[in-house]
Amino acid sequence: MTLPDVLTLIKEYKPEADTSLLELAYEFAAEAHKGQMRKNGEEYIQHCLATAYRLAKIHMDEATIIAGMLHDILDETSVSVDELKKNFGPDVTQLVVGVSKLGNLKYRGIERYAEDLRKMFVSIAQDIRIILIKFADRYHNLETLSALPRDKQYRIAREVLEIYCPIADRLGIWYMKSKLEDLAFPYVYVDEFYLLYVSSGPILKGKEEYIERLKDSVEEKLREHGIQPILFERRVKSLYSVHKKMMKKGLPSIEGIYDITALRVVVPTVADCYAVLGIIHQYWRPLPKRIKDYIAQPKANNYRALHTTVFCEKGEIVEFQIQTPEMHAQAKFGIAAHWHYDESHKRSRQITKNLDWLQEIVSVWKDKDATADESFSAVTLDLFKNRIFVFTPKGDIINLAEDATSIDFAYAIHSDIGRRCAGAKINNQLQPLSTRLHSGDVVEIMIEKNRKSPSPAWLEFAKTPLARTKIRLQLRDNLL
C-alpha cells in the first residue's frame, strides 16, 4: 500500500479533491511513527495507509480520510492534541480524539460490554465518521490478525462480528459489513468456517460460471424490450451470512440457500426496475414467496431494491436484485453514499434522517431512571435483533423491533400520540395495546385528546427502549 494508491482512489470518485493536506498528513504520520513496527513485521505507516485507503473505498470526505491516516497518532506517538489541531484543524482533531477514546475499549462479551457500548454510541452519535474510521481500522487489523496470539485473534474477531458488523449493517454499508464478516469468521468459528469454505467452493464456482453465461442472455432480453442496463454485477453472499442463515433455518448444507450468489441489474429509473422484474418473470418462473419489494418497503438500513428468485434453464435457481444507480450506491456504501456537509458544516437531511435510530438509543442511555438492563436493551433491541415493518392507515411505514406492541407503535409515531393513546385497531380489529405486532400489520391508534399522562401499566408491555423511556418521563413530569 502506498500514498499514490490512496490518492488515485480519491480522484476516481472526487476528481476535484484537494489532497495536499492528506499528503501532509502522510508525511506527519510517517515521521511520528518512524521506527515503529507492527506484529506482522510491517512498518506502522502501512496500517495508517490501509485505514485511509479503506475510507476512500467507501467514498468518504477528505477530513475523514486524513483522520484515518492519523487515527493512532495520539495513542502510539508523543504527538499532542494541540499539535494535531495546529497542523490539521479542529475537525480532523475531533475525529482522531473520538477514535482514540474508542481504542481504549476492551471487548469481553456483549453482556459485559454495556458501559463501553454507552461510550461508543454517545461518541458516534456526535459524529458518525468516528465509527467509519474504526471500521477501516478493524479491517486492516483483521487482515493482519494471523500475527497475533490465538486468544487475541479470537477476542478481536469476535468483537468485530458481534459489535462492528451489526453497526455496519444498520448503517447500510454492505461493502464494509461483508468484508469484516469474511475476515473475522475463520477466527471465531474455526471448524464451521473450514467446512463451509471447502463445501462452498465447487458450488460457488458452478454458480458463478452459470451467472456469467446468464448475464448475456438477460442483457439481450432487456435491450429487446428497450431497456438499457447500466451495470450487471455478480453479488456473492459473505460466508458468515451463509453460516448464519444455515443455523437459523437448520440447513445441513449450503445447497438449501438460493441467494448465495445473485445477479444485480442496475437500470436508470425506478420504472425500469419494475419493468425488468416483469421481463424476468416473462421468461423464468419465480419461486413462491421469493419476490421482495424493498423499493416500496425499504429495509431498516434504507436498502432498496427489487428481489426475485427464479427457476432458470437446467434447473438452476437464481436470485436477481434490481436497482437504480442511487440504490446501488446506497447498498454498497450506506450512509457514506450521502455524506456531505453544507457551508455551515451541518449534517445533510438524508444523514440526519438515517441516524434517528442512533439518537433514540442515546436518549435511553441518558435516562437516569433506566435500569442497566433497559439501557443495554436499547442497543440490543434496536441494533442486534430482527425488525418488523408496520403501517399507519395512510400507508406510512414504522420500523420497530420484532416483539413490539401497539404502544411501542404509538410512541414511535410521536410522544404525544403515545401519551394520549386510548386504544388500537390492528388490521381494522380492536386489540389490546399489549398485542404483539407483525410485519405487514396496519395499526390505527385511537387517542383521547384530554389525556395528560400515560398509564403506569404500559411499562409492563412496552418493549422498545424508546417507548419505555418516554412513558417514564411523562409519568414523572405529570407528578411535578
Q: Is residue 105 part of a domain?
A: yes
User: Looking at residues 42-50, what average pLDDT do you find?
Assistant: 96
- Structural domain including 102 reads 3-188
Which residue, 188, 204, 237, sits at the end of a domain? 188
Q: Is residue 371 part of a domain?
A: yes
Locus of grid cell 418488523: 388
In a shared domain, residues 170 and 31:
yes
Closest-CA residue to 132 (of 101, 158, 164): 164
User: Looking at residues 414-442, what average pLDDT do you find?
Assistant: 91
User: Looking at residues 417-424, what average pLDDT do you find?
Assistant: 93
| C-alpha distance from residue 301 to each of 238, 347, 359, 433 (Å) | 18, 18, 15, 27
What is the model's pLDDT at position 346? 46
Q: Is residue 340 part of a domain?
A: no
Q: Which tens digits make up the pLDDT trace of 51-109?
A: 999 999 999 999 999 999 999 999 999 999 999 999 999 999 999 999 988 776 555 55
The set of cell numbers assigned to 192 is: 464451521
Q: Is residue 92 part of a domain?
A: yes
Q: Is residue 343 part of a domain?
A: no
What is the model's pLDDT at position 102? 79
For the domain that residue 440 is a member of, what is the CATH number?
3.10.20.30
In a shared domain, residues 369 and 457:
yes
User: Looking at residues 289-317, what average pLDDT do you find?
Assistant: 89
What is the model's pLDDT at position 348? 45
Q: Which tens digits make up the pLDDT trace of 142-168?
A: 999 999 999 889 989 988 888 888 888
Q: Which tens digits make up the pLDDT trace of 95-108?
A: 999 998 877 655 55
Amino acid at 36: Q
Which residue, 148, 164, 188, sits at the end of a domain? 188
In a shared domain, residues 184 and 194:
no
User: Looking at residues 441-470, what average pLDDT do you find?
Assistant: 89
What is the model's pLDDT at position 115? 63
Sheet with 421-426: strands ordered across = 429-431, 421-426, 443-447
Q: Which tens digits make up the pLDDT trace of 269-281?
A: 999 999 999 999 9
In a shared domain, residues 47 and 159:
yes
30 vs 372: CA distance, rounded Å: 43
Q: Is residue 391 part of a domain?
A: yes
What is the model's pLDDT at position 172? 84
Q: Is residue 339 part of a domain?
A: no
Q: Is residue 388 part of a domain?
A: yes
What is the model's pLDDT at position 127? 83
307 vs 318: CA distance, rounded Å: 10
Decide if pLDDT at 480 tops 60.
Answer: no
Amino acid at 434: S
In a shared domain, residues 162 and 264:
no
What is the model's pLDDT at position 343? 35
Least confident range from 139-153, 291-305, 329-343: namely: 329-343
Decide if pLDDT at 393 tops 80.
Answer: yes
In a shared domain, residues 108 and 256:
no
In a shared domain, residues 174 and 159:
yes
User: Looking at residues 106-117, what average pLDDT do you find?
Assistant: 59
Amino acid at 454: P
In a shared domain, residues 31 and 117:
yes
In a shared domain, residues 268 and 401:
no
What is the model's pLDDT at position 360? 64
Average model confidence (pLDDT) across the chain: 85
| C-alpha distance from residue 80 to each of 86, 90, 179, 361, 393 (Å) | 10, 13, 33, 32, 56
In a shared domain, residues 118 and 24:
yes
| Higher per-residue confidence, 188 vs 163 | 188
For the domain that residue 266 is a member of, what is the CATH number?
3.30.460.10
Which residue, 157, 188, 219, sits at the end of a domain? 188
Domain count, the chain: 3
In a shared domain, residues 270 and 373:
no
In a shared domain, residues 296 and 378:
no
